[in-house]
Amino acid sequence: MTTRWGITIPLEGVPLPDQRSVIEQMPDLGYTDVWSAEANGTDAFTPLALASVWAPGLRLGTAIVPVYTRGPATLAMSAATMAAAAPGRFALGIGTSSNVIVERWNSIPFDEPYKKVRDTVRFLRTALTGQKVTADYDTFSVGGFTLGAVPEQAPPLLVAALRPGMLKLAGREGDGAVVNWLSAEDVRTVTPYVRASGEDKEVVARIFVIPDTDAETARGIGRWAVSAYLNVPVYRAFHEWLGREELTPMWRKWDEGDRKGALAAIPDSVVDDLIVHGPAEYCRERVRAYADNGVTTPVIAPIGQSSADPAAVVRALAPRG
């Protein structure tokens, strides 16, 4: 059983400055980690910086920062600053993100994602030690960059990964992988690729959870989430690789432009596999199933809780609940 138990911050429905009292309580409730994300809400680093002060015992991680939306030097500086603010307690998770976030929202070509992540890992490995970097990588070049504020301890580098190529890269050149949108049973499929390079490789899983909500409501929320994410090309390819043929009718409807039909075509069984929902005690058991199957750090991501009390959700999903 995992000794780690994480949750995603910032919490939904609460202004960032008002989350202090909830985050301060997390270590006493059994949480060991808080992990941020970066898409269209807060940036990845500011919530962690606040949490590093509010709850100094928590480990902090990004899951994830896109490699396209910050230049290599800027990413190195951001990571080094967090590592210095929380010595030994910060892990940097990076990844491709998606074509929607990179191309549509940031007007950056989503080219050669595998190489872009690989090159960024290699650059960061060197840059975070304070060595001068002058190198021509396949996807970018760096000429004479030296990090001016080198952290005492470089953070672990984790790679967001879905299919075998990136999963192997996460284990071979990273310190582990960040995975999401998979069932507890899918963990057994993906983790061997990461740990082919070492059994000590970390696997962080973001797990979407809807606690203490009736099944019909939870499945309705879950269908919207599945529809929004699993029609994005990178996630569709992931689930095709996993063999989730039950989603074929949804993909067909989506390709035809029938959004309502795509939503209706998502089976309950897929929602139940990918979204943990039910009484809080059952939700905690399902999160532990991810750990039992090979996840090192389960990171709960409550969704659809905008009308709920975030503090109550945090307490309900705590391992000591």
Q: For residue range 152-179, what is the model confidence (pLDDT) as tens digits?
A: 999 999 999 999 999 999 999 999 999 9
The reported pLDDT for the residue numbered 87 is 96
> Average pLDDT over the chain, rounded to whole?
96
The reported pLDDT for the residue numbered 110 is 96
H-helix or E-strand spanning residue 66: strand 65-66
| Strand partners for 33 | 6, 59
Q: What is the pLDDT of residues 108-165, one digit of tens each?
A: 999 999 999 999 999 999 999 999 999 999 999 999 999 999 999 999 999 999 999 9
User: Locate tokens 């309580």: which residue?
Assistant: 25
With beta carbons less than 8 A apart as the criterion, state whether 274 and 183 touch.
yes
How far apart, in Å, are the Cα atoms of 270 and each of 83, 207, 239, 263, 273?
38, 14, 11, 12, 5
- Greatest alpha-carbon pair distance for the chain in Å reads 57
The reported pLDDT for the residue numbered 306 is 61
Which residues in 124-153 are b (16+ Cβ under 10 Å) and which e? bebbbeeeebeeebebeebeebebeebbee
Q: Is the pLDDT of residue 98 over 60?
A: yes
- Phi, psi for 12 (deg, rounded to 5): -70, 145
The reported pLDDT for the residue numbered 162 is 97
Can you give the pTM of this predicted structure?
A: 0.96
The reported pLDDT for the residue numbered 2 is 60
H-helix or E-strand spanning residue 94: strand 90-95
Whole-angstrom distance, CA of residue 63 vs CA of residue 297: 12
Q: Is the pLDDT of residue 3 over 90?
A: no
Q: Is the pLDDT of residue 319 over 90?
A: yes
The reported pLDDT for the residue numbered 97 is 94
Residue percentage of the chain with pLDDT more than 70: 98
The reported pLDDT for the residue numbered 321 is 56
* Residue 117 CA neighbour count, 13 Å, CB half: 31
Q: What is the pLDDT of residues 265-288, one digit of tens each?
A: 999 999 999 999 999 999 999 999
Please give the average per-residue pLDDT across 37-58, as a whole number. Answer: 96
Residue percentage of the chain with pLDDT more than 90: 95
Tokens of 8: 């995603």
Single out the residue of 274, 294, 273, 275 nearest to residue 188, CA to CA: 294
How far apart, in Å, are the Cα atoms of 215 and each of 172, 271, 286, 300?
41, 10, 15, 19
Name the band, by pLDDT with cuts 50, 70 and 90, for residue 308: confident
CA 163, distance to chain mean position in Å, is 15
The reported pLDDT for the residue numbered 304 is 86
Name the band, by pLDDT with cuts 50, 70 and 90, for residue 13: confident
Name the band, by pLDDT with cuts 50, 70 and 90, for residue 250: very high
Task: State the CB neighbour count (10 A cutoff) for residue 111.
Answer: 11
Which residues in 65-104 are b (16+ Cβ under 10 Å) and which e? bbbbbbebeebbbbbbebbebbeebbbbbbbbbbbbbbee
Please give the average per-residue pLDDT across 205-213, as a whole number. Answer: 96
Single out the residue of 201, 89, 92 nearest to residue 152, CA to CA: 89
Q: What is the pLDDT of residues 61-83, one digit of tens each?
A: 999 999 999 999 999 999 999 99
Name the band, by pLDDT with cuts 50, 70 and 90, for residue 1: very low
Radius of gyration, alpha carbons of the chain: 19
H-helix or E-strand spanning residue 33: strand 33-36
Cis amide leading into 10 (omega within 30) = yes
* Bridge pairing between strands 33-36 and 276-278: unpaired
